[in-house]
Amino acid sequence: MGTTFPIIGNAHQLKADSGAFFNQVVTLSTKYNHFPMYKIWIGTVPFVVLYHHDTIEMILNNATHMDKAQAYTFLHPWLGTGLLTSTGKKWRQRRKMLTPTFHFSILTDFLEVMNEQAEILVEKLQNKAGKGVFDCFSHVTLCALDIICETAMGKKIYAQSNSDSEYVKCVYKMSDIVSRRQRAPWFWPNFLYYTIGDGIEHDKTLKVIHDRAENISNIESDSDTDGKKRRAFLDMLLKATDEEGNSMSHQDIQEEVDTFMFEGHDTTAAAMNWALHLLGSHPEVQQKVHQELDQVFGTSERPINTEDLKKLKYLECVIKEGLRLYPSVPFFARTICQDTTIKGYKVPKGSNVILFTYVLHRDPRYFPDPEEFRPERFFPENSVGRPAYAYIPFSAGLRNCIGQRFAMMEEKVVLASILRNFTVEACQKRHELHPVGELILRPEKGIWIKLEKRTSQSCVQ
């Protein structure tokens, strides 16, 4: 990285703009790719950047290094110490309590919500079809927000009816604020942050997010259908108890509500938007998806069921390949909890490691021509021999994403609903997307597409 200064380390060399910073670390990782790692000092904390499957596996598959990195403490005012940010005994207890809420039978109950909200999205997109270019990013994001609020809290919030969602804007703003603080050690002390930094803006933005989440979680569930109450995560959180029979406190539940609302809509929304761009840029791939959908649904307008989801194998490969090129979480970090050696390099206790998913997924040994969009890479026969840690869009090991089956189900339902009704044309070239790697990987200026209603005899009219 060049000159390292006392107190600030290499932080003065890091780009302030999120897009430029992301491009900078991608360039560095490409430059040093023949090494197993490289090191950046941010303040007095060394960050070791890993981007090869074998070094990443050494960290994620080791129960010793399960603590999230110091940089995650800046998320505590927002997410508390919920499942994403907690460590040690609290994390283990919380994970054990929450795992049953993601059981397949419970996820099946959520399919109805996903279908209903996807139908609303399709109705909104009907007004855009045949009318030129538009940015689909917020439309898909609000659909994902409606889905997570109704499944997690049992509460309809009608985000898709209110396209000017203050909550979504504040989540984007908060992600940017936290990311900038993480790489600026001079703003780590609260005194300086609130005197000359973004501290006041941080708290103002945070209040909107917390007030919104609190309002949703405090309102009695209204997701009844024909007198049968749907199960929601919140209902299960209220009933959850640990090994000693202790139930979760109001604060515990609020932490998980905030975590689910952020993680449960932002990641899936990004994945679906990237997938729409890629499909719109590759009409031959989109045609194969349309053929698969027509085989499964014919001219029917019926909702998607669990049997349908199993049959949408090519669409699943499209989603996986989209997540390879544009993983929703482009990097995550751990604290090294005891002195360790990685490929002959000593990494002392207290160091932080950054696991760079975006670069990992571009290893040409396992993904030839890595910048090419090829869903066939994920056909079973083409996945043979690929190391398990070469592709980790939902992380891996003990702290893998608890909601990955929920996410895949939602992405399949929403994308299938869109593609049963429309053909998509991308209106940006890949180099125009400018990925911004904050907490979630987003395109700098949205996803611009054109839609046309499908006119084939075998599609949904």
Q: Tens digits of per-residue pLDDT, 362-373?
A: 999 999 999 999
| pLDDT at residue 114, as a whole number | 95
Q: What ranges in 197-305 are assigned the alpha helix state H?
A: 199-218, 233-239, 250-281, 283-297
DSSP 264-279: HHHHHHHHHHHHHHHH
Do the domain assignments include residue 239? yes
Overall number of domains in the chain: 1
Q: Percent of the chain scored above 90 by pLDDT?
A: 58
Q: What is the CATH number of the domain that holds 214?
A: 1.10.630.10
Q: Are strands 38-42 and 45-50 parallel, antiparallel or unpaired?
A: antiparallel
Radius of gyration for the alpha carbons in the chain, expressed in angstroms and rounded: 22
What would you measure as the largest C-alpha separation in the chain, in angstroms? 69
Residues 6+ apart with CB under 8 A from 213: 254, 257, 258, 261
Identify the residue with better confidence: 10 or 277. 277
Is the pTM higher than 0.85? The answer reads: yes
Do the domain assignments include residue 458? no
221 confidence band (pLDDT: 50, 70, 90): very low
429 confidence band (pLDDT: 50, 70, 90): very high
Which residue segment(s) compose the domain that 164 sits in?
11-453
CA distance 350 to 70: 9
Which residue matches tokens 């303040």? Answer: 43
Do the domain assignments include residue 2? no
Whether 153 contacts 217, CB under 8 Å: yes
Q: Which two tokens stand for residue 190?
A: 């609260």
Do the domain assignments include residue 249? yes
Residues 6+ apart with CB under 8 A from 322: 271, 274, 275, 278, 373
Q: Tens digits of per-residue pLDDT, 378-394?
A: 999 999 999 999 999 99
Residues 6+ apart with CB under 8 A from 298: 458
Range with lowest mean pLDDT among 1-15, 121-135, 304-318 = 1-15
DSSP 10-23: TGGGS-SSHHHHHH
User: How far apart, in Å, are the Cα atoms of 350 and each of 51, 183, 268, 337?
Assistant: 20, 17, 32, 6
Burial of 70 (0-12, 13-18, 19+ CB in 10 A): middle
| pLDDT at residue 460, as a whole number | 42
DSSP 23-34: HHHHHHHHHTTT
Residue 219 has pLDDT above 60, yes or no: no
Which parts are annotated binding residues? 401
Do the domain assignments include residue 263? yes
3-state secondary structure of 50: strand
Do the domain assignments include residue 4? no
Residue 229 has pLDDT above 80, yes or no: no
Amino acid at 63: A
Amino acid at 207: K
Bridge partners for 48 per DSSP: 39, 353
Q: Tens digits of per-residue pLDDT, 140-165?
A: 999 999 999 888 878 788 889 876 67
Q: Tens digits of per-residue pLDDT, 48-75?
A: 999 999 999 999 998 888 888 888 898 9
| CA-based torsion, 99, 105, 106, 110: positive or negative | positive
| pLDDT at residue 459, as a whole number | 47
Residue 457 has pLDDT above 60, yes or no: no
3-state secondary structure of 299: coil
| pLDDT at residue 120, as a whole number | 96
Identify the residue with better confidence: 182 or 105. 182
Do the domain assignments include residue 460? no
Burial of 405 (0-12, 13-18, 19+ CB in 10 A): middle
Which parts are annotated binding residues for heme? 401
| pLDDT at residue 456, as a whole number | 53
For the chain, what's the residue count?
Answer: 461
